[in-house]
Structure 1
Amino acid sequence: MIKTMPIAALILFVSLSGCANDRSLAPPADSEQMTITVKVPKELETETLEVMYRSAVCKYITHGASGQRVELEGYHGINVQLQRQGQSDLYQARLPMDGGGACQWHLSNVMFGVKYGNPARFGENATYGAGGGVVVMFDRNRPSLSSGLPIKVDGDLTIRKDYYPWVKESFIGGYRKRVSLTGEGNIYLMYQALEARKVYFEPVFYADFVVYSAGPKVKREGNNTVINYPDGSVETDGRWGPNFRKLQEIRKAAESKQ
């Protein structure tokens, strides 16, 4: 069970229910710290920082396809809210690398990101969708939400990526309008930074370059999603979402004319 708490509460015991042994976090006062910093542009907001600690002492027991016992590193997840630094656009959290306790917890990975702050700008029924996420691995354990191979980096990690607002309308199965962030890669960018002690994420948001998509109203062969780009061009070739490279080209062409 993942629990939400302020960062200061990390120094307290956080017991997991249903455990025979004491699996609580008890970070030592002299633990090295991991600093997560997000520079948040106007119109975006920070997402909750999801933190995962793992333990080689307190095992997670499961069973294989043939019923054999399989022992994996135990896990303990918490949620942390990044704190704004004064009146700046920087939001930060500091996490102990050593989670301490009887299980000797160690920081394994974090998941965080940004989201569109006011989806209602695009209609009262609009809600936030997805995109703008980052997963960083500090060991070799796979995060629960991951696909593909991580980008491996040495030392501290600095991420600076471009994002565009994407308004997506869906009709089949009920009408939905979601406002997502579209950028390079999938919903989450994934990194492995085994030596990092600082992670800095700076999303660059181009609010004026909105891309719209509308899914088919009837499920029938040949009925594809229609994607409308900021320059007025349209795609109906069946792709699932916006072409990021095309968005970059449209923006750069517009900026060159200014």
Structure 2
Amino acid sequence: MAEYRQAHIPQRISFALLTIFASLTGCAKDQSLAPPVNSEQVIVRLKVPSELKAETMKVMYRSTLCTFTDHSAYGGPYQRDGYQHMDIEPAQQGRSDVYEAKLSKDGGGACQWRLSNVTFGVSYREPGRFGENVRFGAGGGVVVIFDDNASPRGGANIKVDGDLAIKESYYPWVDEGFIGGHKKDVSLLGEGYDYYRMYQALDARLVSFEPVLHSRFMVYSIGPKEKKKGNFVTFKYPDGSIEEVRRAKPDFRRLEAIRLAAEKK
């Protein structure tokens, strides 16, 4: 298991550092991050609605010098880039709704670490307001990759040149399930099947994310109480319409149409 230890980086940010596996080659090297004072920065900026909160950022650095031995599905050994994970709390800018973190492109140190990817996003500040024992489910996440490697959540399906500006609509989705025990959670429903938007931005120096929360247009789903052929999830949309389908998530385009029609009235 990897162990956490503290590292201090000249960015006005303190963060927890996850050391890489003990099987790294060249283990006599100091594997800590040491970004140069003049290291190029990537600014990650979030504009957070009042009902939401900024999640802890998960940052990964990679090294082609400090590698480690992994094994293929057939048991064959091969060398992989070393990596380090860290958590960074984005800082609120004054009393505004803007939160920001600065990431050094050059991680420095004997391993010559380089920024590889960052995972960040938003979640509900108080999910309990949707009912007793309601927890936050998923959604509102973003992954940005700064090199040609996949992130811990996979590769990017959107590639951009230069800086990256993301503005996405989200709807509150309250889901109640019974099979395997009663549970109720609230998620941020965005466009697409995945809960994380995946980007590759090799040259970005500014990544901005503005989630637009349409709080008045809530969708509910209620799962079946037993596994039985023909038992489907029931979706209740904000216009009063009901849909019983095999689909695992509400219809985002249907929600968009309901909202746009209501806003025209």
The TM-score, its normalising length taken from structure 2, stands at 0.91
Equivalences, count = 256
Q: Residue 172 of structure 2 aligns with which residue?
A: 165
Shift of 1:66: 3.4
CA deviation string 1:108-136 (max 9, x = no partner): 00000011111111112100000000000
Taking the aligned partners of 2:189 and 2:34, their CA distance within structure 1 comes to 39
Matches within 5 A, 1:4-15: 8=12
Q: Residue 176 of structure 1 aligns with which residue?
A: 183
Matches within 5 A, 1:88-99: 88-99=96-107
Secondary structure at 1:70 match in 2: strand
Q: 1:183 to 1:66 in 2, by over 3 A?
A: closer
Taking the aligned partners of 2:16 and 2:133, their CA distance within structure 1 comes to 41
Taking the aligned partners of 2:234 and 2:90, their CA distance within structure 1 comes to 37
Q: Do residues 39 (structure 1) and 9 (structure 2) align? A: no
Secondary structure at 1:55 match in 2: strand
Which consecutive unaligned segments of at least 5 residues does structure 1 have?
none
Q: Which stretch has the larger CA shift, 65-74 or 45-54?
A: 65-74
Root-mean-square deviation over aligned CA pairs? 2.1
Q: Which stretch has the larger CA shift, 152-161 or 66-75?
A: 66-75
Shift of 1:8: 3.4
Percent of counterpart pairs with the same letter? 52
Q: Do residues 153 (structure 1) and 160 (structure 2) align? A: yes
Secondary structure at 1:67 match in 2: coil
Q: Which stretch has the larger CA shift, 198-207 or 118-127?
A: 118-127
Shift of 1:255: 0.3
Taking the aligned partners of 1:13 and 1:150, their CA distance within structure 2 comes to 28
Q: Is the 8 A contact 1:13 1:26 kept in 2?
A: no
Amino acid at match of 1:184: E
Taking the aligned partners of 2:210 and 2:89, their CA distance within structure 1 comes to 17
Q: 1:11 to 1:103 in 2, by over 3 A?
A: farther
Q: Is the 8 A contact 1:23 1:102 kept in 2?
A: yes
Amino acid at match of 2:159: K
Which consecutive unaligned segments of at least 5 residues does structure 2 have?
none
Q: Residue 220 of structure 1 aligns with which residue?
A: 228
Q: Is the 8 A contact 1:164 1:205 kept in 2?
A: yes
Q: 1:126 to 1:4 in 2, by over 3 A?
A: farther
Amino acid at match of 2:86: I
Q: 1:157 to 1:33 in 2, by over 3 A?
A: same
Q: Do residues 79 (structure 1) and 78 (structure 2) align? A: no
Shift of 1:145: 1.2
Secondary structure at 1:136 match in 2: strand
Q: 1:54 aligns with which of 52, 62, 65?
A: 62
Amino acid at match of 2:246: G
Q: 1:16 to 1:151 in 2, by over 3 A?
A: closer
Q: Do residues 124 (structure 1) and 132 (structure 2) align? A: yes
Q: Is the 8 A contact 2:17 2:87 kept in 1?
A: no
Q: Is the 8 A contact 1:37 1:93 kept in 2?
A: yes
Q: Residue 143 of structure 1 aligns with which residue?
A: 151
